[in-house]
Structure 1
Amino acid sequence: MMFVLFLSFFFLFLVYYVKNRKFNKGSSRVINVCNVCLKPSKNKCTNCNQIYYCSKKCQKKDWKEHKKVCGTVGTELIIPTSSSPSEMREFISDLMFDNDMENSNIPNIEQEYSMKYPHEKVHIQFLNSVQSSIKYLHFIERFIDHDPSEPDPKYIMKRWNEFSDVLIKFLTTPRKIGDIFIEKKKSPYLREKDVDAQSFNNMPKQSLTLNKGKVHIAIGFVDLDLLLRAKIIQNENSIDQPIQFIGYEGSVYAVAKTNVIKEMIIKKAPIRSIIEVWFSSVWTIETLKHFEKAVKSVLRFEDAPNDGPPNPTKKELHPKVRSLISHWNKSIKSPKSQQEAHKLWSKTFTSEDSVFFIVANLVEPRDRVQVTRHILTGEFPLMDDQSQKNLIASITMFNCNNGISPHSSNELMLQMMPMSTILSKNQRKEISFLNAIYNFLENAIIKVCDWLSPLEGQDEKIEIYLHFQPVTNDNSALLASIRQLDPWMMSWNNICDYFYVQDFHELLRACSGNDTVHIMTSIDWFKEIFGAHIMEYDGRVRRKMLNDAQKKISIAEKFVDPSGYFRYTDVISHPYNIGDIEAMMVVKESWQSYFFMGQDLINIGDFSFVPYAHTHKTHTLLNICFTYNKKVNIKTYCK
């Protein structure tokens, strides 16, 4: 059934684009012999009605050259006119799996995985459809420089995340590259319940420089990933006290889970157990014991106010957070099995093709199998070396109350990993990709552990306080509380995406101290500006933009991934993902001007794109760092 639906979609796509293709006119020899093998032929190309071919095979072989001179607007490729499903299936199958596609170096993910896990029939069948979808990308790429005659509502919805009357008016009135869609509808920043709560962050963070003794406020922190790459410095502004890292979150789940992980770090639980609770769908029994110990410790925190700001530097629990952690404490007695974890994980996981681009672009078969296993099961590290009796399902992922549903669709821990740091420090031939990530996490968590529980005489110290509290313009009491702390730095995750620009600056100014530096990453900035997508450019320049973007990716290899864990030429991805890298460079300054419009005395430290990495959920991440105080040496803190 799925194959029939796929064929139907493919045929509609084919007809839509082929009927609207524009070929350059030109001359070619006309003779009733095959243009490839010179055998006598009575069959012509129906597109130009001039060139003869003896078979489909010869026509496909010649198409790369013949298409340059073939036909005019409105003509078609040879498509069977018979309504026979078998004929149509044969034609589409031939087109998808012609020589060009078979020789495109697409790894056989299904076959590699089945050799390692031959008994997992469901996963293997799923990977078969993934394999077909990846090959289909090569067909889409062929039409990147052809203009559709009418806008596609599905494309508009995915591109702009809405299909409103104001958007249609914006798109249909005369405009130029760099124009801002100022009436864009903003998604709500907060929800009543943690529907599809994030188990971990979904994008890499900047490398922070924390000043000794100062206050860092983390808004929408999700987890503690900000500290993984952070370093502590001492200068003329430092104070001989621990750094205070104070987090505010609108997600009950994020506050509950991160408080437990923080306690595990303080109590020096095994690093593997901390990593499992943080990232994995499956835990060992040993991890469950350390989790239980941390849960009981957190439940001894004092109560936070139900309807007011918490005490920022006290260990407090909001009633909703306490309810969830108490539920986890009860669930420890009857955990689910590894098999149940896999089933529950697969229910929240959809067959989004882009997740498997990561696998397809890995060079080593070893790494492709391991990452495929991680995607399909959610295990990290992989539990292949463990007895099933020693394994249970994650309590935090699969035992929540009050309608909380963690692990959102296609959530993947690889998306938050700083690849430029991880890959540059490892050699592909010596260490697997997943082991390189594990080693990074191990070293980073040990560092945070030393900060939280320092040895006598150690200068690098940090205190962490995490609170459930929405940070909005309406929460004036909280904003005043934050301002009184005179924060040295405030991190905002991607919360800027949920506010109109002027409202966001009003929020930041309300809680800023005298020297506060603000850092954030925008995911959705390109949904507000015309020209951030390759399809908004003339079809005649798209091919060059795509090629230029691929060159940029190739150049980045020697700096980001010198031992070549991934491929950087002939990258397997949707052409939009590649082309948009070039498109966003054209409009970045226009959006920067829009973002800071009307803001006096702004000191911009960083406004740059996150370096390309195959693991990113989106390749248009924009890092932003600035302060409202011109005197602050912001370069010291934003890198």
Structure 2
Amino acid sequence: MNICNVCQKLTTTKCSRCHKTYYCSKGCQIKDWKIHKKSCGKNEVAVSNIASGSLFSEITETLADMTIQENWNVPDFGKEYATKYPQENDQIKFLNDARSSFKALQFVEKFLNNNIVKISDPKNLEKRWGELSENLTKFLTSPRKYGDIFTKKTKNPYVGDKGRGALSFSNMPKVRLSLDQGKTHVAVGFVDLDLLLRAKMIRNIHSAAQPQPNKFIGYEGSVYAVAKTNVIKEMMIGKAPIRSIIEVWFSTVWTMETLKHFETAVNVVLQYGNAPNNKPPNPMKNEIHPKVRSLISHWRESIEAPKSRQEAHKLWVETFNSEDGTLSIIANLNEPRDRVQVARHILTGEFPLMDDQQEKNLIASITMFNCNDGISPHSTSEFMFQMMPMDAILPKYKRKETSFLSALYNYLEDGTTKACTWLSPPAGKAKAIEIYLHFQTVNNDNPELLTSIRRLNPWTISWSNICDYFYARDFHKLLRACSANDTVHVMTSMNWITEVFGAHIMEYERNQRREMFMEAQKMISMTGDFMDPSGYFRHTKIITHPYNIGDIGATMIVQDDWQDYFFKGQNLNVGDFSFIPYCQTHKTHTLLNIIFTFNKNINIQTGFE
């Protein structure tokens, strides 16, 4: 989420001169100009200086030898969509335009031969490094080698919007968590309950001596995530239909039955006690912050006059980014049936698709389209595909018999059913869990909170991708303050490549790029055949920007350098430091899973897969 530099409202509009500072309106930009003008424009000068470096000099020769085209055989998914939805002319045109864009990407050599395309362009620099700054200019114009770390990268707070940020669901796949019976797991930046979908509960020598429920304690700096996930938790406890739980979690459109179960759960959550305003919450108590209560109360009021299915589709599309890489998922699916269904989901946000329902039985999602206090879910073109662990889903099905969306639904149904059973276990069953979710930011400025987490004696702590928002030394300080003697930490870095020179294929010499690209293609093909034996997706000649493939090879070269930097000076036990396999549905294709503990005597491989 980006916020206005003046009033802190959510916005996507930047200063058109420096492309760095965000403003929600012209009025806010004018108010800030007296201060902003001192730095605005400096970036332009600094960035232009990069072009004079030998590594970044732009090619002036013609590109006559760059017309070699890969035959990707881009499917005509617009035409396929039209056979099922012939009246949706705008959507069909949109899909046809997307197909034309994909066909242009087939000129692989054009991308690989060109020398850092317009590196002096601020937009390209910001996309590669995630910022424009004098420190970045100094780093790029000074002598460097592959694997050098941009140690002065700007680190923004992972919650800088006073809790108004809203993700409808997680945007990356998670590891499979093994929950030792009777132990406590702390989930920092949890977003939703996706960690429980793949989790398994085990009993071993580490488990509690006497059977007792596991504890899942969540801390999150988003009002929306805490409010919605508490409601979903109560729907699980109240034995709402699994489909209704999935609709509230993922869909823009609900059935009237889902609305009924949602209302029941909302009333239960509003009976929680009040969390304190100025000190840490009680970790194992159902209580909600006043901001969370305000949002849930607003949802209860909105139940009386829900929006229509058509309004839901319109509101969904308004935040859709036509350049979003998610569209390539459609093109890379092998079955025409799957391409049509996935296109329908992307264009409407429905899950499951509601074509089999009567129109009068459908309403717009309350949680997605009826928020207050400036909260705006789905404001960043998010899609549920991004959180799906395809290596755990695709091997279980044959694509001719089970559609891609059905495979995803089955995964969610199985995982949700398991979580419901843990929350309300049958009599005599040892596997049980208690979930407590709190609106609370976890950082080094709140020692009282960190102490309360440590006193929970957490067996495991998950950190989402919060490590991306801290300098390594500060992050390890935070983790040590939260850790009990045996605590294992698990996290995923999405942005590590923005700290390492050589993590982008275009930073290598032209004669190396094609070889790196081909090796990356081979590796993706091999892993794809293993995790997708039924062939839902193509794994050769993948329809995507060539950089997405090439960067896989580049990151393999510099991964160890970033690992050394991240763990430098820390006496700890590293359990895993590995790439998540390339998958067409991921938002980022260079995700790193990181698992470690500060206790060097623990075998932490047993807790994660």
Preserved contact between residue 362 and residue 368 of structure 1 (Cα < 8 Å) = yes
1:609 aligns with 2:579: yes
User: Of 593, 596, 604, which aligns to 1:626?
Assistant: 596
Correspondences of 1:239-278 after superposition (within 5 Å) = 239=208, 240-278=211-249
Alignment deviations for residues 471-525 of structure 1 (CA, whole Å, 9 cap, x no partner): 0100111101111111110000000000011110010011110100000000001
Alignment deviations for residues 430-470 of structure 1 (CA, whole Å, 9 cap, x no partner): 00000000001101111111100001111111000000011
User: Of 319, 325, 329, which aligns to 1:358?
Assistant: 329
Residue 548 of structure 1 deviates from its aligned partner by 0.5
1:286 aligns with 2:257: yes
Q: Structure 1: which amino acid aligns with 2:425?
A: P
1:122 aligns with 2:109: no
User: Of 406, 409, 428, which aligns to 1:435?
Assistant: 406
Correspondences of 1:405-554 after superposition (within 5 Å) = 405-554=376-525
- The residue matched to 2:593 in structure 1 has which SS? strand
Q: Structure 1: which amino acid aligns with 2:80?
A: E
CA distance in 2, matches of 1:76, 1:167: 30
User: Of 146, 153, 166, which aligns to 1:197?
Assistant: 166
Q: Which residue of 2 aligns with 1:404?
A: 375
Q: Which runs of 5+ in 2 are unaligned?
A: 1-58
Q: Which residue of 2 aligns with 1:112?
A: 80
Seen in structure 2, the aligned counterparts of structure 1 residues 213 and 541 have a Cα distance that, compared at 3 Å, is: same
CA distance in 1, matches of 2:281, 2:358: 44
Q: Which residue of 2 aligns with 1:46?
A: none
CA distance in 2, matches of 1:224, 1:543: 41
Q: Structure 2: which amino acid aligns with 1:345?
A: W
Residue 151 of structure 1 deviates from its aligned partner by 2.5
Q: Structure 2: which amino acid aligns with 1:179?
A: D
Q: Structure 1: which amino acid aligns with 2:608?
A: C
CA distance in 2, matches of 1:74, 1:564: 42
Preserved contact between residue 113 and residue 124 of structure 1 (Cα < 8 Å) = yes
Q: Which residue of 2 aligns with 1:31?
A: none
Preserved contact between residue 610 and residue 620 of structure 1 (Cα < 8 Å) = yes
CA distance in 1, matches of 2:389, 2:63: 47
User: Of 77, 90, 107, which aligns to 1:139?
Assistant: 107
Q: Which residue of 2 aligns with 1:220?
A: 189
Preserved contact between residue 165 and residue 224 of structure 2 (Cα < 8 Å) = no
Q: Structure 1: which amino acid aligns with 2:593?
A: N
CA distance in 1, matches of 2:340, 2:252: 18
Q: Which residue of 2 aligns with 1:635?
A: 605
Preserved contact between residue 252 and residue 320 of structure 1 (Cα < 8 Å) = yes
- The residue matched to 1:142 in structure 2 has which SS? helix
CA distance in 1, matches of 2:239, 2:282: 26
Seen in structure 2, the aligned counterparts of structure 1 residues 460 and 149 have a Cα distance that, compared at 3 Å, is: closer
Q: Structure 1: which amino acid aligns with 2:215?
A: Q
Q: Structure 1: which amino acid aligns with 2:605?
A: K
Q: Structure 2: which amino acid aligns with 1:151?
A: I
TM-score by length of 2: 0.88
Alignment deviations for residues 71-102 of structure 1 (CA, whole Å, 9 cap, x no partner): x9735659xxxxxxxxxxxxxxxx99x9x57x
CA distance in 2, matches of 1:232, 1:149: 50
CA distance in 1, matches of 2:135, 2:510: 26
Q: Structure 1: which amino acid aligns with 2:296?
A: I
Residue 143 of structure 1 deviates from its aligned partner by 3.3
User: Of 183, 189, 195, which aligns to 2:152?
Assistant: 183
Alignment deviations for residues 391-422 of structure 1 (CA, whole Å, 9 cap, x no partner): 00000000000111111322000110010011
- The residue matched to 1:410 in structure 2 has which SS? coil
- The residue matched to 1:228 in structure 2 has which SS? helix
Correspondences of 1:66-105 after superposition (within 5 Å) = 74-75=61-62, 77=64, 104-105=72-73
Q: Which residue of 1 aligns with 2:205?
A: 236
Alignment deviations for residues 114-156 of structure 1 (CA, whole Å, 9 cap, x no partner): 1111111111121122112111111354331232586232221
CA distance in 2, matches of 1:214, 1:592: 29
Residue 353 of structure 1 deviates from its aligned partner by 4.2
Q: Structure 2: which amino acid aligns with 1:573?
A: T
Preserved contact between residue 155 and residue 470 of structure 2 (Cα < 8 Å) = yes
Residue 157 of structure 1 deviates from its aligned partner by 1.1
- The residue matched to 2:78 in structure 1 has which SS? helix
- The residue matched to 1:608 in structure 2 has which SS? strand
- The residue matched to 1:328 in structure 2 has which SS? helix
Alignment deviations for residues 24-73 of structure 1 (CA, whole Å, 9 cap, x no partner): xxxxxxxxxxxxxxxxxxxxxxxxxxxxxxxxxxxxxxxxxxxxxxxx97
| RMSD of equivalent CA atoms | 1.6
Q: Which residue of 2 aligns with 1:16?
A: none
User: Of 529, 534, 541, which aligns to 1:570?
Assistant: 541
Q: Structure 2: which amino acid aligns with 1:386?
A: Q
CA distance in 1, matches of 2:213, 2:536: 39
Alignment deviations for residues 511-560 of structure 1 (CA, whole Å, 9 cap, x no partner): 11010000000000110011111011111100000000000111112210
Residue 191 of structure 1 deviates from its aligned partner by 2.3
Preserved contact between residue 134 and residue 353 of structure 1 (Cα < 8 Å) = no
Residue 188 of structure 1 deviates from its aligned partner by 2.0
Seen in structure 2, the aligned counterparts of structure 1 residues 233 and 75 have a Cα distance that, compared at 3 Å, is: closer
Q: Structure 1: which amino acid aligns with 2:76?
A: N
CA distance in 1, matches of 2:461, 2:535: 36
- The residue matched to 1:216 in structure 2 has which SS? strand
- The residue matched to 2:490 in structure 1 has which SS? strand
CA distance in 2, matches of 1:244, 1:198: 24
User: Of 188, 211, 235, which aligns to 2:180?
Assistant: 211
CA distance in 1, matches of 2:93, 2:591: 34
CA distance in 2, matches of 1:210, 1:506: 25
Preserved contact between residue 196 and residue 407 of structure 1 (Cα < 8 Å) = no
Alignment deviations for residues 580-635 of structure 1 (CA, whole Å, 9 cap, x no partner): 111111111111110000112x0000100001111000100000000000111111
Seen in structure 2, the aligned counterparts of structure 1 residues 150 and 493 have a Cα distance that, compared at 3 Å, is: closer
Matched positions, count: 548
Q: Structure 1: which amino acid aligns with 2:597?
A: T
Preserved contact between residue 266 and residue 453 of structure 1 (Cα < 8 Å) = yes
Q: Which residue of 1 aligns with 2:139?
A: 170
CA distance in 1, matches of 2:237, 2:63: 68
CA distance in 2, matches of 1:611, 1:140: 22
Seen in structure 2, the aligned counterparts of structure 1 residues 125 and 211 have a Cα distance that, compared at 3 Å, is: same
Q: Structure 2: which amino acid aligns with 1:184?
A: K
Preserved contact between residue 194 and residue 405 of structure 1 (Cα < 8 Å) = no
Preserved contact between residue 336 and residue 392 of structure 1 (Cα < 8 Å) = yes
Q: Which runs of 5+ in 1 are unaligned?
A: 1-71, 79-94
CA distance in 1, matches of 2:415, 2:107: 42
Q: Structure 1: which amino acid aligns with 2:326?
A: V
Seen in structure 2, the aligned counterparts of structure 1 residues 333 and 141 have a Cα distance that, compared at 3 Å, is: farther
Preserved contact between residue 208 and residue 226 of structure 1 (Cα < 8 Å) = yes
Seen in structure 2, the aligned counterparts of structure 1 residues 515 and 133 have a Cα distance that, compared at 3 Å, is: same
User: Of 333, 345, 356, which aligns to 1:374?
Assistant: 345
CA distance in 1, matches of 2:453, 2:61: 63
Preserved contact between residue 133 and residue 353 of structure 1 (Cα < 8 Å) = no
Q: Which residue of 2 aligns with 1:91?
A: none
- The residue matched to 1:626 in structure 2 has which SS? strand
- The residue matched to 2:574 in structure 1 has which SS? strand
CA distance in 2, matches of 1:358, 1:114: 18
Preserved contact between residue 116 and residue 506 of structure 2 (Cα < 8 Å) = no
CA distance in 2, matches of 1:515, 1:243: 16
Seen in structure 2, the aligned counterparts of structure 1 residues 120 and 193 have a Cα distance that, compared at 3 Å, is: farther
